[in-house]
Each structure stands twice: as structure tokens, then as C-alpha cells.
Structure 1
Amino acid sequence: MVSGLKLTVIAALVASLSACAVGPDYQTPEAVDDISFNSPYQQAEQAQSWWLAFDDVVLNRLISHALMENRTLAQARANVDRAYAVFRNAEIDRLPGGSLDAGYQASENATLATNDNGVITRGYSTGARVSWDLDLFGKLRRASEAAEAQAQQADILWHDAQVQLISQVATSYGEYRGAQLRLVVAEQNLQNLQQSRSIVLARLEAGMASELEVAQIDAQLYQIHASVPVHRVALLTAEATLSALLAQQPGQLDLEAEPDLPALKKPVAVVDGENYLRYRADVASAERLLAARTAQIGVATADLYPNLSVNGFLGFVSGPGLTLGSETQSWSVAPTLSWQAADLGSVKARIRQAEASSQMALAQFEQQVFNALNEMQLSLNSYNLSREQQISSELQWEASNKAVQIARQRYDAGTGEFLELLDAERELLRSRDQLAQLQQQSFIRLVSIYRSFGGGIELI
């Protein structure tokens, strides 16, 4: 009865000690300079479908294919599996472990006794060996916490890899369509200049124009010709980038020839009071890293205290006859108490390293919050300014087009100067190409809004 009571008390003491864990308990930061972000990470529902608002069949197909085939995304997914395997292994380390063993041993002169001279002994052993680190001060528990936080970080980074991949595909698609559009504009400008050149040549034959006028319009033609290879290089670059993102070989990408850039039918909206930081995977990733670094302080601190482990054996030990029975049954229990008493200076140094790593992770997390807030605001401002530019450019192109028509009519009627027509056409070419650039820029900056808000921005 007394022995049973003692065993109960010892078991309760071991259990209570095992429930303790040295080192700081992690608490999620609630604010950085009055910036609240205590909402847990949440991937926005529209993060995996926001591009559908553009209603572009080709873009939809490209992104769907990239999500299935991109190797960087597959690598991030495998990293999640690896991280959770590490976490499960850390959890298992807190439980008793063991193995089933069967062995044979032969020896001669096993002792110093003279009776054993020349005697060969043989024997077999089979049974279960068990070992258990009781984790009195929570070293294994803190290691498990760190591994879990790192696994969660890997999962968050996988979601972030999807957002980044979608943004990269959409951006490259915009660059491809933009290069197409600028190429079409250049070809249209060449046609317009060729028509103007034909008029000048006709007037030259009639003695109403000079060689200077022909040379001037030829110079403008060559300038447009020189820009065509630039647009083709941009087209090839965007195509190569898309092929790589979709894990396709050169020349396999199937894109329709429509040069139109996707456009939203509804504007984007920022909801007042919405905590968009919770959609930012980089902020959530930095927070999980901070949690892991905090837990590792406990891992290092536990080495200041003794470690108790128990090893045991239950099985059979027999001679050459390999008989198994009650007479050959064997068991052993070997508790071991170890303490790094002679190495406490090194232990304290590791604790300081862990604490410094935690401070670094905290600073990184706080900086990531500021980076995220400013990036989100910058993306909104940049898009709004780009839209203002695009609207002004559209008005400029309309005015330039009207000016060319008036100048051409006056020139054809003989009441206008050729230089006026040439300048008007030059301005028309420039304004049309600028409009194409701004259309591409607006689309790419709109994609940047979705990326910087983690896909959490909505349409109204």
C-alpha cells in the first residue's frame, strides 16, 4: 500500500514537472506603434479568383495552368510537407520510444578468472528496449512549439507563393499584351506615314513640294521602323517569362493574337476599418518566425537544468539452445540523470544567442508591418495617378488626331505648311504610343494592388 502510494506520488511529481517549460511563453504582438494587427492570418477568399473580374479567357487559362504546373509553387508545397514532418517528429520525441531487438553474441575469456581461460560462451537476447526523456523542464515541448511555428510559416509561404505566382503571370500577360498593342500602334503609324509620304511625292512631282519635305518624312518613317524591334523584344521577353512560369518549353505557349489589354468593368474598393494586414502572408510569416525564435529560447534555457531519462529492457536472454521461457526472462531499468554543470558557460551563451535571434525576429516582424502598410498605400496611389495619366493621354490623343486631320486638309488645299503637318503627325504618333504605354502601366499597377493587399481587395 505504501509502495503504491509512493509510486503515485512519484508519477504525479514527474507529470507536474513535465508540464512545466522554462523560457518565455509566446504572446502574439497586438500592435506596432498603434498599428493593430492582432487578427490571425487569413487567406482572402478572392485571392484565388480575383483575376476572373477581367473576364479574359486567355488570362484565366494561363493562371490555372501556372497553378498546376509551376515548379516554384511545387517546391513551396513540398516545403510545407517537410516542415510538418519535422513537427510530427518533434512531437514524437516527447513520447517514450523503443525498438524490438534480437541479437547473438559469442565471446572467449569473458572474465579474468582462470576458469574462463579458453572458454567460449554464446548467447542470444531478444526483447523490447525502451527509452524516454522525461522532459522535466520542457526542452522537448519548446522544440515542438518551434517546429510547429516553422511548419505554419511554411504553409503561409506556400499561400504567398500562389499570390506571387498569380501576380507574376498577370503582370507578364499585361506586358505581353502591352507590347502587342505598341507594335500594332507602330504598324498603324507606319501606314499613316506611308500615306503622307505618297502625298508628298505626288506634290513633289507637281512641283509643289521639295526634297527636304521628303527627307523629313523619311526620317520620321525610319524612327518608327527603329522602334519596331524594341517592341518585338519586349514581346519575346514577356512570352519567355510566361513560358517559364507555366513550366513550358520555348515556343509551346499558345496565346491568341488579340492585342487588347484586360480592363475591369468595376472599380476596386478599400473598405474602411478592414484589417488588410491579416491577408499579408509576409507579415504572418514574420510573426510565425518570431514565435519559433521565442520557443527556441526555452530549448536553450532547459540545458541549465538536469535531464532525466529512463532506459529499459524486457525480453529474454538465453544460451546456445535459444530457449525462451520464464527461466530466461530478463528485464532492466536504468534511470539516468545528466547535467551540463561543467558547461554552463556555453549553455548561457546559447541562451543569449536565442534571445538575440528572438529580438531580430521581432524587429523583422515590426519592419514587415511598416513595409506592408506603405506598399499597400503606394500601390493605391500609383494606380490612381496612372489612371489620371491615362485619361489625360486619351484626351491628348483625341486632340492630336483632330490636329492631324486639320493640318492634312490645309496642306492638301495648299493653305498649310508641310512642317505643320509633320509636327502634327509626329505628336499624334507620340501620343498614341504614350497612351498604349499608360494602358499597360495601369493594368500592371492594378495587379500590384491585388498583390500588395494579398488578394483581399474587393470590387464594387
Structure 2
Amino acid sequence: MRKSLLAALLALLASGCMIGPDYLRPQVETPPAWRLSDTAANDLANTAWWKQFDDPVLDDLVNTALRNNHDLLIATARIDEFAGRYGIVRAELFPQVGAGYEASRQRNTLPGASSASTYNSYQAVIAASWEIDIWGRIRRLNEAAKAQLLASEDARRAVVLSLVGRVAAAYINLRDLDRQLEIAQATARSRGESYDVFQERYLGGVISTLELSQNKSQYDEALASIPPIEKAIAQQENGLSVLLGRNPGPIARGKDIDQLTLPTIPAGLPSDLLERRPDIQLAEQNLIAANALIGAAKAAYFPTISLTGLLGYASNGLSQLFNSQSKVWQYSAPITMPIFTAGAIAGQVQEAEAAQQQALFAYQRTIQEAFREVNDALINQDRTRQQLRAQKQQVQALQQYSATARLRYDNGYTSYIEVLDAERSLFNVQLQYTQTQQTQFQAMINLYLAMGGGWVNEAARVADALTTASDAAHDPGPTTR
């Protein structure tokens, strides 16, 4: 009879259905194509795009950040946390077995008795319990916990994506500031030499005080532009140092911004974003978890059936503890069912359904934001490329204008005002040109970040390998005494 009861319960478990909706990926409207496209683009979205800059220093900085960045270390530890949670929930699918031993000595005095009695008791038992998951409550919780674990892994991949982009952008910005500083210092030296000449001319009575003041004003303007750039460089180095997981300090330099290679535009269809971007995958895993929790909440309406059992020995004497006469056992199948909860279960179901709707809307919003970011990045890099070509031509024209104005002034054909205007315009446009260079590199970085791609997985593997190597290097190993 016991075997028949157990077989019936196992059959009921095997045929049990899971309460609540099964997950189906929502239908999402995707644009058929980007607003801008490049028919000659190569599919490089799965490559380590930062290596296309062809700067070994930048490669080393990225590797350092993947090894030491604290945000990435936190995200890695969070995966271990959710893996532990998943293990806890998954364990409820299996029987729980425990063992215990108890030895006690007790003195009792009965009412009306002339003396007290003292006796010993010993007990050794093995106990087991198992909840029969007929309605799928535990399986739904298991489904949610697994989705949360995968979401934590996607969150780490999102940190990797953001980290690589931030390091590359910070380095490009640093090289842009270095170039601006070179322009400002070169302009200051040139104007300083010009000011020395003008002082000699003034002392010789060749030029007026007005022209000398104009020249000095131009020299001071160049000098005044240097400290803000130096301050920005120091702050950029400090910020990049933190990304690298170390205290603020100087950063190594590689190629000049003019020598860096601009990465190729990655190709891909809009629907590819659904498979590439970690934030979209994270949002979907959150939706899967929220969907599963609806079933777990609804399962509370139905009976809970468990199997419990106990087998062991109990005796008043330790020497007789494991005799056959001391054997004790017990098994039961308790069933509990809610009758009146004053709306508590209904509230839990409503809460779970509302959370699922929030996760659904967040998933849809994340996809729309992803499409917007790609379109913005495509438009940005395309228009910035056009702007850079125009500014390059403007720099060349102003260089010729400045040289001609200086020649005309030296030969007495024009006033120094024309030279002043030409050199000031050239200085400003040179700074604008290098800033636009930085904007173009940043637009390309943003495009790779927006497209996602398999390179995130590769970067995550690099981070794992670097972290493991770093831990091994710091492990002192076994010690002998």
C-alpha cells in the first residue's frame, strides 16, 4: 500500500502542470533599415574594434581596465551572488535529507511521589522531506531564479561594453587635448617671438604703441589658453586612472590623434540588436523572471503536498540504542490549502502581474532606445565626417590667409589688424578641427557600443582570463614551516 501511494504521488508529480503563463518573446516592431547605411561596410561588429585604432597603448589600457576596474569586479561578484540564489531555489526540487543525534539526562518528580526518578534518553534519526511540486510553484521560482542569473551575466556584459567604450573615449579625448595643448603652445611660442620683434620695432620708433599693444594682446591670448587645457588633461588622466582601477596619476601615451586609424563602420540589420546588445538581453531575462513569478504567485491558491519521513533509533540506554527493539520510524503526506487569506494571495498575484507589465514595457523601451542610439551614431559619424573635411579645408585656407596677411603687413600694404584677425581665426579653427577629430572618433565608438556584437563576449573572456591570471599572481600558494 505504501508503494502504491508513493507511485501515485510520483505519477501526479510527473503529470502536474505549471500554473501561470509560459514565456513568449513579445513581438517588437523593428525598422526595416537604418536612416543611413554604408553599402561598402564590412561586418566587423564581432571584432575587438578598439584594436582598429592601431595603438598598442590603448590596447594595454583596455586590458588593464578589464582586469582591475571595480565596477566590473562588482558585476562579476554579483553573478556569484545570483548563482548562489539559483542554487538555493533549485535545491527545493529535490528531497531534503538530514541526520541528528541527541543524548539527554532528565530528572522528574511526579505529584505525590516520595522520590524523584532520573533517566537517560538517546536518539539517532535520519529525516527527509520533499514538497511535491504539482502546480509548478517551485519550477516557476526555479525559472525566475535562472533568468535572474542570466540577467546578472548580461549585466556584467553591459558593464564590459560600457567600460571598453569609456576607456577608448577617454583616451581619444586625452590625445585630442594633447593636440590642443601642442597647438596652443606652438601658437604662444610664435606669438612670443613676434612680440619680441615688435618690442624692438617699438623701441626703434618703427611702430606705434597701438600695434605693440595689439601684438601683446595676441600673445597673452595664446598664453591664457594653455592653463585650461593643462587642467583638462590632468582631470582626464585622473578619470581614466579610476577606470583602470588605480589611483589618479599620469597616463601613458601612444600615437597622436592624427596617426590613429578610424575604425570601419560595422554592418548589421536592425533586428540584430535583439541578439547583440547586453542591455536588451538583460531586459528580456528580467521579463522572463517576472513572467515566471506570476505562476509562482498563482500556485498559492492550490494545495501544497509534501512527503516527510523519519527513520532511526531511540533508547533509554546508550548500549541498547541500535537494537532492533529501539527502531523508530514515521512517514506522512501533509496537505495544506488556503481557505481564507483576506485577499493576500490575490494581492500577490496582482503584484506579480504588475511587475511583469513593468518588465515588458522596460523591454520594449530598451529596444526602441537601442534603435535610436544606432541611428544617432550613424548620423553623427556621417555628418561629422563632412564637417571635418570642411574644417580641414578651412585650416588650409586660413594658413594661407595668415601668411599672406603677414607678408602684406611687412611690406606696408595693410595694418596689423588684418594680421591679428587672420592669426586669431587660424588658432580658433585649428582647435575646432582637432575637437571635431575627437567627435568623429567618439561617434564611431558610440556606433560600436550601440550595435553591440560578439566582441562583448570576447572582451568578457579576456576579462575573465586577466582576472584569473591576476589572482594566480597574487596567490602566495602553500607555505611550509
Shift of 1:52: 0.5
Aligned to 1:425: 423
Aligned to 2:307: 310
Query: Match of 1:61, as an amino acid?
Result: D
Aligned to 1:382: 380
Q: Which moved more, 1:225-234 or 1:190-199?
A: 190-199
Segments of structure 2 that go 5 or more residues without pairing to the other structure are 33-42, 456-481
Say whether 1:51 aligns with 2:50: yes
Q: Does the CA-based 8 Å contact 2:57-2:254 persist in structure 1?
A: no
Tell me how far apart the structure 1 counterparts of residues 384 and 261 of structure 2 sit (CA, whole Å): 15
Q: Does the CA-based 8 Å contact 1:106-1:122 persist in structure 2?
A: yes
Say whether 1:33 aligns with 2:29: yes
Q: Could you give the per-residue CA deviations for residues 268-309 of structure 1, whole angstroms, max 9, x where no partner exists?
A: 142457623321111111110000001001111111011112
Tell me how far apart the structure 1 counterparts of residues 252 and 347 of structure 2 sit (CA, whole Å): 59
**Structure 1 residue corresponding to 2:402, chosen from 401, 404, 415:** 404
Q: Does the CA-based 8 Å contact 1:137-1:302 persist in structure 2?
A: yes
Number of residue pairs aligned between Structure 1 and Structure 2: 444
Tell me how far apart the structure 2 counterparts of residues 25 and 114 of structure 1 sit (CA, whole Å): 68
TM-score normalised according to structure 1 size:
0.90
**Structure 1 residue corresponding to 2:223, chosen from 216, 225, 235:** 225
Q: Percent identity?
A: 28
Shift of 1:127: 2.1
SS, match of residue 125 in structure 1: strand
Shift of 1:10: 4.2
Query: Match of 2:213, as an amino acid?
Result: A
TM-score normalised according to structure 2 size:
0.86
Tell me how far apart the structure 2 counterparts of residues 273 and 232 of structure 1 sit (CA, whole Å): 42
SS, match of residue 334 in structure 2: strand
Shift of 1:12: 1.6
Aligned to 1:132: 130
Aligned to 2:241: 243
Structure 2 matches for 1:104-183, cutoff 5 A? 104-109=103-108, 118-183=116-181
Q: Could you give the per-residue CA deviations for residues 13-66 of structure 1, whole angstroms, max 9, x where no partner exists?
A: 24323xx2111111122x223569xxxxxxx99567211111101101100111
SS, match of residue 94 in structure 1: coil
**For the aligned residues, what is the CA RMSD?**
2.4
Shift of 1:250: 2.7
SS, match of residue 252 in structure 2: coil
**Structure 1 residue corresponding to 2:272, chosen from 247, 260, 275:** 275
Q: Does the CA-based 8 Å contact 2:180-2:434 persist in structure 1?
A: yes
Shift of 1:257: 7.1
Query: Match of 1:85, as an amino acid?
Result: G
Q: Could you give the per-residue CA deviations for residues 180-211 of structure 1, whole angstroms, max 9, x where no partner exists?
A: 11111100111221233234334334433211
Tell me how far apart the structure 1 counterparts of residues 393 and 79 of structure 2 sit (CA, whole Å): 51
Aligned to 1:319: 316
SS, match of residue 313 in structure 1: strand
Tell me how far apart the structure 2 counterparts of residues 356 and 274 of structure 1 sit (CA, whole Å): 28
Tell me how far apart the structure 2 counterparts of residues 194 and 68 of structure 1 sit (CA, whole Å): 46
SS, match of residue 311 in structure 1: strand
Aligned to 1:77: 76
Segments of structure 1 that go 5 or more residues without pairing to the other structure are 37-43
Shift of 1:152: 0.4
Moved over 4 A (4+): 2-7, 44-48, 112-117
Q: Does the CA-based 8 Å contact 1:277-1:372 persist in structure 2?
A: no
**Structure 2 residue corresponding to 1:256, chosen from 253, 256, 263:** 253
Q: Which moved more, 1:448-457 or 1:424-433?
A: 448-457
Structure 1 residues 245 and 293 mapped into 2: Cα distance closer, same or farther (>3 Å)? same
Q: Does the CA-based 8 Å contact 2:273-2:370 persist in structure 1?
A: no
**Structure 2 residue corresponding to 1:451, chosen from 449, 458, 462:** 449
Tell me how far apart the structure 2 counterparts of residues 50 and 77 of structure 1 sit (CA, whole Å): 23
Shift of 1:375: 0.8
Q: Could you give the per-residue CA deviations for residues 117-165 of structure 1, whole angstroms, max 9, x where no partner exists?
A: 8333321111211111112211111000000000000011111111111
Structure 1 residues 234 and 67 mapped into 2: Cα distance closer, same or farther (>3 Å)? same
Shift of 1:418: 1.1
SS, match of residue 21 in structure 1: coil
Q: Does the CA-based 8 Å contact 1:293-1:361 persist in structure 2?
A: yes
